[in-house]
Structure 1
Amino acid sequence: MKGSFIRAKPLWISAVVLASVGAIGAVMLMWRPAIAPIERPRTFDSAQLQRGARVVEAGDCAVCHTRPGGQYMAGGLPLRTPFGTLYSTNITADPQTGIGQWSLPAFERAMREGISRDGHFLYPAFPYVHYRRMTTDDIADAYAYLMSGPAVDSPAMQNDMNFPMNIRPLVSFWNLLFLHAKPLTPVARQSEAWNRGRYLVQGPGHCAGCHSPLNLLGAQKSGESLAGGSVEGWQAPSLLGMARGANAWSTEQLVRYLRAEIVEGHGTAAGPMRAVSLGLARMPVADAEAIAEYLLSLPGRAVIREIHPDAASAEPAAQASGAMLFASACAGCHGAAAPMREIDGRPALNRTSALQASSARNFLKTVLDGIPAIPGVPGPVMPPFAASLDNAQLSALASYLRHQASPDQPWTDLSATLEAIRQETK
């Protein structure tokens, strides 16, 4: 018996040592050192600032870091995720509440690794997974531009994350699983514009962050980049095979859509994409052309479309109800004889991407939320109908218009989709 205990003792000691080493390794994984603060740099080359402004616009920084009615880049925008609500942070040059004491290495570490200057982990709602594909020069230019702007005193708001995601160090394990992207290198056989478009889509533009399905941990599903996703209650459509199919895009159409214009056959950007497209409109048109060239080169994926042979003979009474609602609520702008069809190119609704989509969600969201006016920015405006149309009326209108667009593929999920959207809004 004594001999058995003596033989077992080294195994017991080995297990303790291995457990200790594992615990130390886990602590090291969840800890990052702070980077010393600096005095805010104030002198920058004007050409670098111009480049930085373009990088920041391409990265949609203001879209997330400027809340409605708030000051530019001062944060405070709520970002609702399946794991709770995050509030974007202040990235102005304020030394106390912003990034005014950050050095360029601290800024680059945040952009590539998701680590703040003081060493705490940033949640991957900040798309550092994509930003790590950016060039060192672009990151330096963005840093210069942000540091050159006005400092705004705007303390961070308290996040409301669910357990266990409210434990920030656990993000380190998320990074271990999913933070593997590297800076992009040009593809020699492709054009300069194609490579520029690929860089903007996969790097600063982080298009896959919205246009890809996510797994249970909130990371992009492997092998399904740009295959379609969801954001803020909207469907972000697949960006694959856009040059093919029943409602294919031309280069001119996609460039205009990306720049917030109204496009016959597709409509105009709404929902979260509206702010993105307005930002692209402020960039050189060559960037939108490059994005279009890259996206239209991507192959599609097989899509099984459910055909309803008897759908063309839809119930006349239901169609009549939808037609009456269209005449009273929509025809003033979208009817065949509407002046707005000529003034700003309003599309026939049956020729829009929302009516051609497999789900009614984006069409219903557009009708419910409208397209708000942005002071000083030209573009279409549409009033919201959330308070003036009930679910039965919205279902009738959607059924009628879908019948005009795709008579053999009716939407069968209208009631459930409307109820879900109403609950999300609450």
Structure 2
Amino acid sequence: MKRKTKWSLAGAVVLAGCAGAAAWMLEPAIAPIAPPAAASFAAQTVARGARVVAQGDCMVCHTASGGEPFAGGLPLKTPFGTIYTTNITPDAGTGIGNWSPAAFTRALRRGVARDGHLLYPAFPYIHYTRMSNQDIEDAYAYLMTRAPVQATPPANQLIFPLNFRPLLAGWNLLYLRPGPVPADGNRSEIWNRGRYLVDGAGHCASCHSALGPIGGERSPAFSGGNIDGWDAPALTALLQAPRPWTEQQLALYLRHGWSPEHGAAGGPMAPVAHSLSTTPPEDAAAIAHYIMSLQNPAAKPPALSAAAVIKPAANDPALLPGRTLFAGACAGCHTGAAPMMAAGSRPSLALSSAVAGPKPDNLIQTILNGLPWTHTGQSSYMPPFAGTLTDAQVASIAMYVRAEIGQRAPWQDDKQRPLDARGIEQRVTAIRKENQQ
């Protein structure tokens, strides 16, 4: 982005912030309370809260690598700098132990902390505001019964003037519509439940929508986004996958992080599936039902388009390095005769969105980072190759898998030019650098 454009956007944010300051900067502090005893909350309320917190995947964002659950400190990279998540354990000094139910509700409804300062929208309160009073009360009960941890996150590192919190007043005027959304009486109960979960606690649009110049979600929602260097696919184009998704397949994927027709969840989506696996099956079913209602049945899957499918030459020299590397590093798991494929009924890489997608980034991320083994019951695992393969080798494998296994036309750059091995290698280098920051 050009410097002039950046400062123009910064100026717009300043003006919007000043315009909204009168409405949003007068939020008073809410008096602190003594941390409530865990025994003061009914077991049934805490159990319901566990479900709500899992629906929102709260632990993942509020737990740093190697840190205590919900103690914060996880760095969230944004186009405007790095924001560190807060401690939401019931520690009175560094967490939310002295927050009353009213303070907690205001944070979720209006993006305002107990002491009155405005929260950054990396905390997706524009979605949490749509949650019911009951779900918010239950989530409060669950968090207040966790083990208190004394932990203060690092200071945020944001560019000027976006590090000036009062400017968030203008942002809220543009993007925040406080309060729940009424059910649609013309729709089924499962559809309304799915919309409630997707637009509320699940905050799916936060990752699966493009962001505007000042970080607001662009319309149309669910048209695809980017999170932590991973492309989040458009949730409105699931019928355009190499094999069109069905509602049952999507529900299985959401709950288990794996589908026999589409592959395994990777990157930020993997912990989302793990969280949903701890909720009742009807949650994933409702989400899948709602998301599939957003599809265009008339859309033609790329797999049926002759222009999108190619058959590379058998002796294409450009694919030889990748073919050799794949045979040595990947074929033991990813060929039809491999035990994982034969016994586990794993899908071909040709069906993976990382292979068939419009950009190589997700395939590169998967090769570099693998699919870590994070919990028992996980349905998939892949070792990382960041430490054993060079950037050129990763690029060669990605290029080979795309053409030979996926039988897809080459990826394209921003100017719609085919990406060759050198172009893919440059993406590998950039992604590796971003991951190390």
If the length of structure 1 is used for normalisation, what is the TM-score?
Answer: 0.89
1:420 aligns with 2:417: no
Preserved contact between residue 92 and residue 150 of structure 1 (Cα < 8 Å): yes
Alignment of 1:58-97 (within 5 A): 58-97=55-94
Give me the CA root mean square deviation. Answer: 2.4
Change (3 A) 1:355 1:219: same
1:268 aligns with 2:278: no
Change (3 A) 1:173 1:399: same
Preserved contact between residue 243 and residue 297 of structure 1 (Cα < 8 Å): no
Which residue of 17, 26, 31 corresponds with 2:26?
31
Structure 1 unaligned blocks of 5 or more = 1-21
1:286 aligns with 2:296: no
What secondary structure does 1:109 align onto? helix
Change (3 A) 1:190 1:219: same
Post-superposition CA distance 1:58-81 (Å, at most 9, x none): 011101111122111111111111
Alignment of 1:12-51 (within 5 A): 26=21, 29-42=24-37, 43-51=40-48
The CA deviation at 1:403 is 1.4
Q: Which runs of 4+ in 1 moved over 4 A?
A: 22-25, 301-306, 308-311
Preserved contact between residue 30 and residue 170 of structure 1 (Cα < 8 Å): no
Post-superposition CA distance 1:329-350 (Å, at most 9, x none): 1111111111112343333211
Post-superposition CA distance 1:178-209 (Å, at most 9, x none): 11254122222322222111111110000000
Which amino acid in 2 is paired with 1:236? A
Change (3 A) 1:30 1:143: same
The CA deviation at 1:244 is 5.0
| Alignment partners' CA distance in 1, 2:364 and 2:236 | 23
| Alignment partners' CA distance in 2, 1:23 and 1:79 | 26
User: For residue 7 of structure 2, what is the aligned residue in structure 1?
Assistant: none
User: For residue 349 of structure 1, what is the aligned residue in structure 2?
Assistant: 349
Change (3 A) 1:389 1:69: same
Change (3 A) 1:192 1:271: same
Which residue of 224, 236, 240 corresponds with 2:220?
224
The CA deviation at 1:422 is 2.4
Preserved contact between residue 85 and residue 161 of structure 1 (Cα < 8 Å): yes
Preserved contact between residue 90 and residue 97 of structure 1 (Cα < 8 Å): yes
User: For residue 122 of structure 1, what is the aligned residue in structure 2?
Assistant: 119
| Alignment partners' CA distance in 2, 1:170 and 1:383 | 44
Alignment of 1:396-411 (within 5 A): 396-411=396-411
Q: Please, which moves more after superposition, 232-241 or 409-418?
A: 409-418
The CA deviation at 1:351 is 1.9
What secondary structure does 1:259 align onto? helix
Change (3 A) 1:261 1:83: closer
Which amino acid in 2 is paired with 1:278? H
User: For residue 235 of structure 1, what is the aligned residue in structure 2?
Assistant: 231
The CA deviation at 1:408 is 4.8
Preserved contact between residue 370 and residue 384 of structure 1 (Cα < 8 Å): yes
Which amino acid in 2 is paired with 1:320? L
User: For residue 363 of structure 1, what is the aligned residue in structure 2?
Assistant: 363
Number of corresponding residues: 404
Structure 2 unaligned blocks of 5 or more = 1-16, 412-417
Which amino acid in 2 is paired with 1:251? E
The CA deviation at 1:252 is 2.5
What secondary structure does 1:392 align onto? helix
The CA deviation at 1:48 is 1.0
Post-superposition CA distance 1:44-101 (Å, at most 9, x none): 1211111111001101110111112211111111111111111111111111111111
1:209 aligns with 2:190: no
Which residue of 194, 207, 219 corresponds with 2:191?
194
Change (3 A) 1:350 1:269: same
| Alignment partners' CA distance in 1, 2:103 and 2:251 | 36
Preserved contact between residue 247 and residue 356 of structure 1 (Cα < 8 Å): no
User: For residue 183 of structure 1, what is the aligned residue in structure 2?
Assistant: 180
| Alignment partners' CA distance in 2, 1:53 and 1:225 | 28
Q: Please, which moves more after superposition, 385-394 or 233-242?
A: 385-394
The CA deviation at 1:391 is 2.5
Change (3 A) 1:190 1:26: closer
Which amino acid in 2 is paired with 1:69? G
Alignment of 1:143-182 (within 5 A): 143-180=140-177, 182=179
| Alignment partners' CA distance in 2, 1:23 and 1:400 | 53
User: For residue 387 of structure 2, what is the aligned residue in structure 1?
Assistant: 387
Which amino acid in 1 is paired with 2:26? W
Q: Please, which moves more after superposition, 153-162 or 69-78?
A: 153-162
| Alignment partners' CA distance in 2, 1:197 and 1:248 | 20
Q: Please, which moves more after superposition, 207-216 or 256-265?
A: 256-265
Change (3 A) 1:171 1:23: closer
Preserved contact between residue 209 and residue 225 of structure 2 (Cα < 8 Å): yes
Q: Which entry has the higher C-alpha Rg, 1 or 2? A: 1
If the length of structure 2 is used for normalisation, what is the TM-score?
Answer: 0.87
Preserved contact between residue 367 and residue 384 of structure 2 (Cα < 8 Å): yes
| Alignment partners' CA distance in 1, 2:18 and 2:67 | 44
Preserved contact between residue 74 and residue 154 of structure 1 (Cα < 8 Å): yes
Change (3 A) 1:315 1:308: farther
Q: Please, which moves more after superposition, 286-295 or 252-261?
A: 252-261
| Alignment partners' CA distance in 1, 2:199 and 2:310 | 43
The CA deviation at 1:164 is 0.8
Alignment of 1:95-110 (within 5 A): 95-110=92-107
Which amino acid in 1 is paired with 2:325? L
